[in-house]
Structure 1
Amino acid sequence: MREPIQIKGKSKVGNLDGALASINDHCSVMFGGFGGIGNPPTIINGLLEKGVKNLTLIGNDAGFPNIGIGKLVSQGRAKKLIVSHIGSNPIAGKLMLEDKLKVEFSPQGTLAERIRAGGVGIAGILTDIGVGSMVEQGKQKTIINEQEYLIETALTADVSIVYAKKADTFGNLIYETSARNTNPLVAMAGSYTIAEVEEIVEVGELDPEAIITPGVYVDLVIQSKGIDWKWAWE
């Protein structure tokens, strides 16, 4: 049997205090998750306790009022959302209508590609989704082979927060079933990426074929204190 590759270097395992130190007022924070599933609850609860405000939150949706990222939105900690929808969180809609929260909507597939583009260093993507509709307002367009496309800019953030099933001390990540959703893309697109995980193991203990996010994208790994979203979908 082949011996596991040994990676030398400082462990990326830290604690919640270290994670929270990197997120302050006015930060842009990109989060993994879909309808709450895959949101990192320990980090989100920590941000609530820290009192961070005026955040720009970038992710698939606004969650639910009392689950995942929805807690930050519902308590007015965000000044802007960049999401595909807010329908699962009526408080987000209320804040938007009261002009207390700016919301930039992006079609779900387009949003995912904008995040992926940010992660791999591409300035933007071309898409025909939204051409001829209100989606194209204020956006640049181009024509390729007589087809008109919108130029959608890439998305990055000061900090990305993701949730994973397992990590090793180098930051390689394995996700659990549908909780994988947008987390792999989000992990690539932050200037600083924090992974909250259920289990932390030593380098070499993870099956290399099961690793989804390479540790090169991850700056800090913390132990999760437990999820608050699984019960909502049972």
Structure 2
Amino acid sequence: MRLSAEQAAFAKRLGHKFANGELLQRALTHASMSSANRPDNQRLEFLGDRVLGLVMAETLLSADVGATEGQLAPRFNALVRKETCAEVAADLGLGDVLRLGRSEMLSGGRRKQALLGDAMEAVIAAVYLDGGIEAARSLILTAWGNRIETVEEDARDPKTALQEWAQAKGHKPPQYREIARSGPDHAPVFTIEVALQSGETSRAEAPSKRRAEQAAAKALLDRLGG
């Protein structure tokens, strides 16, 4: 099946020449656009998640032969989580070539984190099925780039660190509260406040509650010197 000009340009950004263009088209097809003759990308997403996990696990093991499972697990989670997949998808311009139904398109689907993350996993599967594990590995390592080298910083969870700080002081666990939510449904901004038993508080904004909670925890830790 022949790729459109936009799809061909996207494949070039991936660094992979598809022998079977239908695989890429399926990877870019959201459920809102699927039909009996146009399967969506959910099955590919399932496979791509596993391929990504295998490549990242092998890469992390090779990069640090002395690391324990406890050290590797948070690094792995930081690299394969949906938010990271969505960031990589945005870097590649994947949203511009997503095949969406009208309602999903009107609601800003091309910028939705969940859709981008899922589609990125599906694209990985498409490359894997088309070119094998080495082609998929090349795509992943290139697209993730220096995220792999800097993952130790990303893997540090500020919420866990803040809770450990509070426990060391004999305090109750930090409390998180949603202060506000703004922006359209497809691009919300959450304001979260974290508070300690001792009275210290901090607020942060982010496109997801999880990231806002982490940012608020980090801000409070920085202020406390923790």
Using the size of structure 1 for normalisation, the TM-score is 0.24
Q: Which has the higher contact order (CA 8 A, sep 6+)?
A: 1
User: Which structure carries more strand by proportion?
Assistant: 1
Using the size of structure 2 for normalisation, the TM-score is 0.25
User: Which structure carries more helix by proportion?
Assistant: 2
